[in-house]
Amino acid sequence: MKTTKIFTLAIALLMGFTLAACSNGGGNNSGGSANTPPPSETPGGTEPSAPPQDPDPSNGGNDPGTGDPGNGNGGDTPISANIGEIMEFGGYEWLVLDVQGGKAFLLSEKVLESRKYHNEGIDITWADSDLRAYLNGEFLSSFSESDRARIAETSIINNDNPEYGTPGGNNTVDKIFLLSIDEALAYFANDSARIAYDSGGKAIWWWLRSPDHAGYAADVDIDGSIYSGYNFVDYNGGVRPALWLNLQ
């Protein structure tokens, strides 16, 4: 009887140890993550950066400020101009005579060169003169493509001579032209303001596009007065080109 009790106790103890071992084994896996290695991290520890954006399609991917010279304005960078100031354009300095409608009326600040109004001493008007052909040909071509695109085409009225009635000839459409008698009077306060100098600082008389007597063209003398009846068209005189410039 005593032996049976001891055997029963031994069995009970053995079962208790077995249950305890099973209980401890389940505790090691609670949560399922205590000993699980962490998931690998994204290199750098950040989310991948957003893909680069395409260039702005509105400017064709060009750098800011680069414009198409074919748009008639020579670019998208506005130019500032104020009446009475001297501004640089196309490698020359210009006197701003007027500003209106997004354009500036410019006259070269100095006499740029000496040329004949026409190569023959004949009765000639601005429309058919060699000087007009030169200014709207060779001289205009000396500007860059983008600068030429900024120079506006201008409807030129060629009035008769106000004193002698000499015909002014046909009206023209020009990019580069000379002032008329009327314009030289309107845009300058007095004779002194009309005096022009060459690059060496010498006062030079300069051509106007208006006719004088037959075979002559009007001009501004070295004292700034509007002179007539002296300079034949085949004389060498000072050239002060004028133009209307698109500012936008």
- Give phi and psi for 174, each to the nearest 5: -130, 155
pTM of the model: 0.69
* pLDDT at res. 231: 84
Among the listed residues 175, 179, 171, the one whose alpha carbon sits nearest the alpha carbon of residue 152: 175
Distance in angstroms (rounded) separating the CA atoms of residues 248 and 103: 8
Buried b (16+ CB within 10 A) or exposed e, 214-239: ebbbbbbbbebebbbeebbbbbebbb
* pLDDT at res. 53: 29
**H helices present in the chain, as ranges:** 2-27, 130-134, 140-141, 145-150, 181-186, 191-194
* pLDDT at res. 47: 29
CA atoms lying within 13 Å on the CB side of residue 109: 15
- Cα 146 to its chain centre, rounded Å, is 8
Name the residue type at position 111: V
* pLDDT at res. 90: 97
Alpha-carbon torsion, ordered 26, 27, 29, 33, to 10 deg? 160
pLDDT one-digit tens code per residue, 203-213:
999 999 999 98
pLDDT averaged per 10 residues, the chain (length 248):
37 38 37 33 29 29 26 63 97 98 97 98 96 98 97 97 93 98 97 97 97 93 86 95 96
Can you read off the two tokens belonging to residue 144? 């860059």
Contact (CB, 8 A) for 115 and 42: no
* pLDDT at res. 212: 93
Among the listed residues 188, 206, 189, the one whose alpha carbon sits nearest the alpha carbon of residue 197: 206
* pLDDT at res. 214: 86
* pLDDT at res. 75: 52
